[in-house]
Amino acid sequence: MNQYKISVIALIAFMLSATGCNEDRLDVEPVNEFLSANFYQTEEQVFSALIAAYDPLGWTMAYGNWVSHVMFAEIRSDNANAGGDPSDNDQPGWQEFDDFRNTNTNTVTHPIYRKHYIGIFRANLVISNSDKASTPAVERYVAEAQFLRAYYHFELFKHFGPIPVVTETLTPDDIGRERNTMSEVFEAIVSDLEAAINVLPATLSAGEAGRASKGAAEALLGKAYLYWADMDNDDPQKFALAAEHLREVVNLGIYSLVDDMEALYALGAKNPAESVFELQQSNLYPSNWGWFEGIDGNGMVQLCGVRGLCTDHPTYEPGWGFMLPTQDLYDHYLADDTYRRDAAIITVDELAQEIEDAGASCAVVVDETQTTPVDYTGYWQEKYANYKGYLGNNVNGGDPNLTKDANIYAIRYADVLLMLAEAIHRSNGSDAEAMEYIDIVRERAAGPGDNTGNFRTAQQLMSDMGWTLLDVIWYERRAELAMEGHRWFDLVRSGRATRELFAGDPIRESNFDDNDLWLPIALEELSVAPNLTEYPDASLFQ
């Protein structure tokens, strides 16, 4: 499924055509009654509603603001600075996230919140209306909607902490909703995913890319248990449940690491064997600035490309310079781990070398005066590179900056292996087994080809560095998943997001406090929902 939005347009067109009017049909039922009472009658109609529920997954912009969880988790953490133009005020909402200056009037916060609740609302419509067209196909569509509802709730929790759980279609009378407790949020996520796992297929056909599968549901359930365990006083029983479900992903035998890690981020790479759940981006819809939810391309590609880059560079087009890797991230990689570092980060020297190798010439490789000096480190992210190959992607007349269609890895197999190792270790399971999964990731990290005996194992790292096994896991997660939207959430769940983490960064260090672990619910929501609290208090984490 490569075109979430196009299918939604088809759904809207179908609804409009079904309510078309002429002189013989002036006495009609209201449109909203038609949609709620008569629409979900066939498999085709339910499937169209399901595609609408998938649609928000692809929104890298909503309500006029960039809403990428990847950007948030990197910029909020010690992995990246906001970047942008020399003013240090380009995209002020993201600058506030970077510096821990955001309040409940931050321009990005409400779009993030709305985007995920729109997804929940649409998933609820599929689930609550499924009895009108009960067939095996519809049963699968409901399972996919349950997966999506769990996914959206989980993303909301990661950003805002315990939030209201919504498992039915709301009415204006439900305005008094309160935050649920952490346990209530995770219980709802677990319930949805357990139901979905019993129905979802293990494998998808070529035309079903991006849809939920049994492996995706097992992986998300394992990840949810991992977060829950970590935030529930390191509960070993929940860690064991996380391990159980993550091991099921491995046991399916369908996923494997791509030998050349850089191929995961190459131009045109989509849904490889390593992808467990992948957010689909498309260039086929004419994405433009006039309809913000219409952006099916990956806005991060242009937004986070190299600002001030020479236009004659043979590989990349200039971008707008956001999500700049920090020196701390660059220095995180050990001397024998440059392959993974080079997959995540590109330097000015490397950009210059590519120009030289191509026989091209640039008087200035990167015009550093175009970038904010506060955030510029000389490094740029490379996993969502702004390739010249995207030129011409606006095949249907969209804005060329918004039709770059790099997919986003929500869960990839390397992440599953590292989460499984962590869950086994922290449930007091076999450390030898945990290290086996780590070493699968580390072998690939040594570069393409068979690296047996040519990389340091987890056991050797512990010996060489004086690390614990958990230290190895934390190292691996940051090195493997850098620039993919995991870092901040890993830090928060594990209690490592502290003022001390930002020592040496005077703005972040001085501004950070415990409230900054979560985004506040936006003022727009608080003003109409009197029982919501801006931040979650400690009593909710039970």
Q: Give the mean model confidence (pLDDT) for residues 422-448.
A: 98
In whole numbers, what is the pLDDT of the chain averaged over residues? 92
Quick check: 386 and 408 in contact, CB under 8 A?
A: no
253/90 Cα distance (integer angstroms): 46
pLDDT tens per residue, range 171-195: 887 888 999 999 999 999 999 999 9
521/540 Cα distance (integer angstroms): 15
What is the helix (H) or strand (E) element at residue 345, kind and residue range?
strand 345-347
pLDDT tens per residue, range 128-144: 988 877 899 999 999 99
Quick check: 444 and 257 in contact, CB under 8 A?
A: yes
144/166 Cα distance (integer angstroms): 17
284/278 Cα distance (integer angstroms): 18
Q: Which of 152, 159, 11 is nearest to 493 (CA)?
A: 159
2/282 Cα distance (integer angstroms): 6
Global pTM reads: 0.93
In the predicted structure, residue 20 carries a pLDDT above the cut 60: no
DSSP conformation letters of 225-237: HHHHHHHTTS-HH
- Burial of 201 by CB count in 10 Å (0-12 exposed, 13-18 middle, 19+ buried)? middle
Q: Would you kindly state where each structural domain of the chain is located, as residue ranges? A: 1-67+108-181
| pLDDT on residue 36 | 59
473/75 Cα distance (integer angstroms): 22
Q: Which of 109, 136, 172 is nearest to 47 (CA)?
A: 136
228/242 Cα distance (integer angstroms): 9
474 φ/ψ angles, rounded to the nearest 5 degrees: -65, -40
Q: Which of 338, 331, 337, 335 is nearest to 378 (CA)?
A: 331
Between 7 and 52, residue with greater pLDDT: 52
pLDDT tens per residue, range 360-374: 989 999 999 999 999
519/69 Cα distance (integer angstroms): 12
Do you know the residue count of the chain? 542
Percent over 90 (pLDDT), the chain: 82
Tokens of 69: 């969880």
Percent over 70 (pLDDT), the chain: 92
pLDDT tens per residue, range 470-512: 999 999 999 999 999 999 999 999 999 999 999 989 999 999 9
pLDDT tens per residue, range 244-262: 999 999 999 999 999 999 9
